[in-house]
Chain A
C-alpha cells in the first residue's frame, strides 16, 4: 500500500472528505461564476455542508458544462499556476480541456503510485507503457506514476507493434501498461512473429484501462501473457487514470480521499444506496486547477463499501460495462456498443469502422452492424469475405446473445452518409417506438 489512508477507518475517511469537500465547495463558489450560480439556485452555501451526506444537495456538472466553458472557464487558478493541460479528442463536439497545478500533479502521481502498488511495482521493475502519449491523459499518467514508485519507464506509446515486442523482449519489461485491446493485438502479432511467450518475455503484471474489457478478454490477456490483470479506471475530467485501481482480490478501489463517488438514478437523479446499480458521479475534493462538483460520468456501475481482504477500506466499484447514454435495448437484451466493438477487435485484430443500425421487423427489433472493409480486412475472394461475415455473426451471437446481421460496406460510406463518428442509428425511434 502506498498511503496509510487507503486502510483508514470509515470515520477518519469521512472526516477528511468532509473537510476537503467544504474547502472545494468554498473554492468553486468564490472563484467560478458557473458554480456560484448553480449553488445559489440549489439553495446551498458551502458552510451548509455539515456532513458528507450533504454532497447529495450540491449541483451536478456535465460534460456539456465543460464544453460550454471551453477552454479554461471552469479553472479556479490563474494560468500562471497551471503546469499541465490535457484535452479530450473532441470527436463529438468541442474538446474538453483539463488543467493541473503543481499540486494537482502530485495528487495524480500519488494516485498512480497507489495503482502501481496494487501489484507491488517498484525499483527494479521495467514498465513498458503503450498508452498514447500526448493530449490523452493515459500515457503521461502512467509514466509519472511508474517513476514515482521508482520503476524504469519505457515511454513507447502506441503503434509500431513489432518494434514494441522487440523492445519488450530486449529490455526485459516486467510490467505492461496499455489498453486491453492493444495488449491483445500485441499478443496476436507476437504469436505471428513466432515469439515464445514463456522464454522471450518477463512480464508479470499488466495495467489495463481506458476502455471496457469483457471478462473473456481479461482472461485471454492473463493466459496469453501469463500476467496478473490490474484494472485502472479513470477519466480525464476527474484526473485521468488513477481514479480507481483493482487490488489483488479483484476489487476496483476508488481513491475516495481525492474523488468522492456516488451512485445516482440517471432518471430521477436521486442518490442510490450502496450496492444498487446506477450512474457513477464523482466530486474531486483536492484538485486546484479544475475542481469539479458531482460530475456525471455516464458510467453504469455499483459501489461496495465493505472492507476488502487486501486491507484497503477504500470503497470499490464494479467494472464499467459501458456508458448509460450508449446502452441499447434490443428485444429486451442490453447491448453496449463496446461489446460490438470488442467482437470486431477480436475478429479483426484492430477495431474497424462500424455503425450499429437498429430497426423494426414486425414487432421485433433488428440489429445490423455495418462494418467497413478496409485494406486490412479486404481479402480478394467472395468466399473469404463471406467467411468473415459469418465469423462476425457467430461471435456476436456468442458475446451479445442476439442475432446480428453483418453488412460489409465500403470505407468512408459511413462517414459520408451520417457525419463523423456516429456509431448508432436507431430507426425504431422514427416510427415512434419506445427506445
Chain B
C-alpha cells in the first residue's frame, strides 16, 4: 500500500530574495526535469517550494548541486471528478478518520478530472491512503507523475 501509492515530493528552502526562484527553475530546466505539480508556502523571511516532478532523484541532485536545501517527503495524490464536491469527498473521509491534513494542493488533470495532493503526518500516511482506498476513491499511482 505505502509503496504503491506514495508519491515523492521535493521541498526546497528559499530565502525571500529577488531572483532566487529563477535560480530554482534554471536548475530544474537545466536538468530537463518536468514539474508536474507545485505549491509555494511563505513566511515573512523565507519560503518553501514544494514540487512533484517527473524524476525526483535527478531533480534532487540538480537542486543540491545548485546549493539549495532540499528535503523529500511522502505525499499521496487522489483523482476526483472536476466538479463541485470533489475535494470535499476526500477531506470528509480524512476528517472522519481524525487525520490532520498538513497541507494540500491541486491541479486540473486530463479531461474532467482533478488531482489533489495531500501531505498528512508521517505516522498517518499509510492509514490515510488505506482509508481513501477502502472508500473507493481513486489514488493516483506515482507512475502518473514520473513518466
Contact = CB atoms under 8 A, between A and B. Distances in A.
B: interface residue count bin: 20 to 34
B95 interface: no
A380 B48 contact: yes
Interface in B5-47: 11, 13-15, 41-43, 45-46
Contact of A410 (B11, B15, B41, B71): B15
A410 B48 contact: no
Contacts of B41: 381-382
A378 B69 contact: yes
A379 B69 contact: no
Counting chain B CB atoms within 10 Å of each CB, the highest count among A385, A408, A410 belongs to A410
A409 B47 CA distance: 11
A226 interface: no
A413 interface: yes
Given A409-B15, A410-B13, A413-B15, A382 B69 contact: no
Contact of B70 (A375, A382, A385, A386): A375
Contacts of B50: 380
Nearest to A389: B45
A380 B67 CA distance: 17
A386 B43 contact: yes
A385 B43 contact: yes
Contacts of B69: 373-375, 378, 410-411
A380 B73 contact: yes
A289 B61 CA distance: 48
Contacts of A379: 71
A382 B42 contact: yes
Contacts of B42: 382
A382 B67 CA distance: 20
Given A385-B43, A386-B43, A413-B15, A378 B67 contact: no
B87 interface: no
The SS class assigned to the B binding surface is strand
Interface residues of A, number: 17
Interface in A190-247: none
B102 interface: yes
B68 interface: yes
A410 B43 contact: no
A407 interface: yes
A420 interface: no
Given A410-B69, A412-B67, A378 B13 contact: yes
Contacts of A411: 67, 69
B15 A381 contact: no
A373 B102 contact: no
Counting chain A CB atoms within 10 Å of each CB, the highest count among B42, B45, B68, B69 belongs to B69
B62 to A, nearest CB: 15
A371 to B, nearest CB: 11
Nearest to B15: A410
Interface string A373-414: 111001111100110000000000000000000011111110
Nearest to B41: A382
Contacts of B48: 380-382, 385
B120 to A, nearest CB: 12
A408 B14 CA distance: 10
Interface of A: 373-375, 378-382, 385-386, 407-413
24 contacts: A373-B13, A373-B69, A375-B69, A375-B70, A378-B13, A378-B69, A378-B70, A380-B11, A380-B48, A380-B71, A380-B119, A381-B41, A381-B103, A382-B48, A385-B46, A407-B45, A408-B13, A408-B45, A408-B46, A410-B13, A410-B67, A410-B68, A410-B69, A413-B15
